[in-house]
Amino acid sequence: MAAVTFDRITCQYPGAERPSVTNLDLDIADGEFLVLVGPSGCGKSTTLRMLAGLEDVTDGKILIGDRDVTDVPSRDRDIAMVFQNYALYPHMTVAENMGFALKIAKVNAEERRRRVEDAAKVLDLTQFLDRKPKALSGGQRQRVAMGRAIVRSPQVFLMDEPLSNLDAKLRVQTRTQIAALTRRLGVTTVYVTHDQVEAMTMGDRVAVLKDGVLMQVDTPRKLYDHPNSEFVAGFIGSPAMNLFRATVHHRQVKLGSLALDLSPAQQEALTTDEVTVGIRPEDMATAQEGTGLPIVAEVVEELGADAYVYGYLAPVTAANTVVRVDPSAQVAEADPDAKDDGASPVVVRTDGRTPLRVGSTVWVAPNTEHIHFFDASTGHRLPQ
């Protein structure tokens, strides 16, 4: 068990135009569960593989504990990794798979068996120890991959999207199991995922990456309540935050019929005369006609307790357009055929018991305490 430090590391593949990971600075505390999340191609897997020693570090240092492991070969780093496709050895039984690392390390057979059986008990694999991987279900294979990692009691666990090959229900179940297991073992864990729900539910802290650059690293709560950039705001949360672009006039932002005041500090930090206003779907409530924003409901998703209304702004407020933050898939999906007449999707959470009818127009007003302002040109959050 040890802390992990990324000290301004950069990774550029030979022949690539720009680095996959640029100047990443990240401290992971001993025993912490850190999730690396971001859209595909953001460099999260590369970061993990650099820590594993499977990719060369172009620049910077990686430390595990106090030891500089930048140039240490993978097999001497004392780390274990769970792969996306599990990478179980097909010709070995479950027990042999789990005990392989110990065998390489020349642990004697008796000790090896004891440790494999202990791990199997933890993961509920005892009755499968003599089976080959191909005779196991997806969930069981995933547990064997986990078992292979915990048998060694390594310094650090690395997990590269270990749940993406499981079906939805099993994924939720395994998610909690993994989080509980690593906390109980107290091993530092670095977990890569593209699924922000996994990131939010599992991580002690979550690091959001975009194009090889670390955008923000924080606890899930803070990430949700105080995203420090437009990108993080749009990426974290499902459905995604509504982002409107609006012009500032005399420290005021016009949003539909509402005028939102910018604080002096916010006005000070602003570099252009445009801001991006972010409001989460649950921070908008239906209001009296004439208050807030008029929205024409296009799709209503009823989830039982809640209903999400996907709609577009009625032409009344055509001055406000919804900014599409492109890496956040949810926004793009909600609006496959973006209309260019100023109408873009807005998501509002409403009570599930009294759902809106499709095609009806409703006025919604934001909860002014939970409005996020971002600089439209830099994307940075404006201070309170």
Which tokens sit at 5?
A: 């430090």
- Closest to another protein by CB, 148 vs 210, is 148
User: Does the protein bind another protein through residue 54 (CB under 8 A)?
Assistant: yes
Q: Scanning residues 109 to 168, which ones bind another protein (CB under 8 A)?
A: 148, 152
**With respect to another protein, which residue has the nearer C-beta, 85 or 367?**
85
Which residue, 98 or 208, has its beta carbon nearer to another protein?
A: 98
Asked if 70 is part of the footprint of another protein (rule: CB under 8 A), the reply reads no
Identify the residue among 74, 201, 238, 291 touching another protein (CB under 8 A).
74
DSSP assignment of 149-165 equals HHHT--SEEEEESTTTT
Stretch that binds another protein, among 19-27, 47-55, 190-198, 368-376 (CB under 8 A): 47-55
Q: What sign results for the dihedral spanned by CA atoms 34, 40, 41, 46? A: positive
Pick from 199, 202, 139, 204: nearest CA to 169: 139
Pick the closer one to another protein by CB: 92 or 314. Answer: 92
Kindly tell me which residue out of 17, 40, 66, 90 binds another protein, with binding defined by CB under 8 A.
90
What single-letter DSSP state applies at residue 282? G
Closer to another protein at the Cβ: 73 or 336? Answer: 73
Of the candidates 3, 63, 72, 87, which one interacts with another protein according to CB under 8 A? 87
Stretch that binds another protein, among 98-106, 240-248, 286-294, 371-379 (CB under 8 A): 98-106
Site track for another protein across 170-209, x = CB under 8 A: ----------------------------------------
9 or 151: CB nearest another protein: 151
Q: Does 265 bind another protein (CB under 8 A)?
A: no
The angle at the Cα of 371, spanning 370 to 374, to the nearest 5 degrees, equals: 140
Cis peptide before 294 (omega within 30 of 0): no
Least gap, CB of 203 to another protein (angstroms): 22
Nearer to another protein, 125 or 284 (CB): 125
The only residue of 72, 101, 170, 213 in contact with another protein, by rule CB under 8 A: 101
Separation CA 313–CA 369 (nearest Å):
22
Pairing of strands 205-210, 33-37: parallel
- Give the tokens for residue 127: 């009755």
β-sheet with 21-28: strand ranges across: 21-28, 4-11, 59-64, 67-68
Q: Pick the closest to residue 24 from 208, 278, 237 (CA basis).
A: 208
Residue 85 DSSP one-character state: T
Residue 76 or 111 with smaller CB distance to another protein: 76
Could you count the other beta carbons within 10 Å of the beta carbon of residue 105? 10
Consecutive H or E run containing 206:
strand 205-210
CB neighbours (10 Å) of residue 243?
23
Site stretch for another protein (CB under 8 A), options 88-96, 180-188, 229-237, 351-359: 88-96
d(CA 151, CA 133): 17
Listed in sequence order, the DSSP H helices in 4-60 are: 44-52
CB of 181 to another protein, least distance (A): 19
Q: Which is nearer to another protein, 28 or 81 (CB)?
A: 81
Answer whether 147's CB lies under 8 Å from 126's CB: no
Provide CB contacts within 8 A for 76, sequence distance 6+. Answer: none
Binding part of the chain for another protein, among 33-41, 79-87, 175-183, 312-320 by CB under 8 A, reads 79-87
Note the residues at the interface with another protein (CB under 8 A).
52-54, 73-76, 79-81, 83, 85, 87-91, 100-101, 104-105, 148, 152
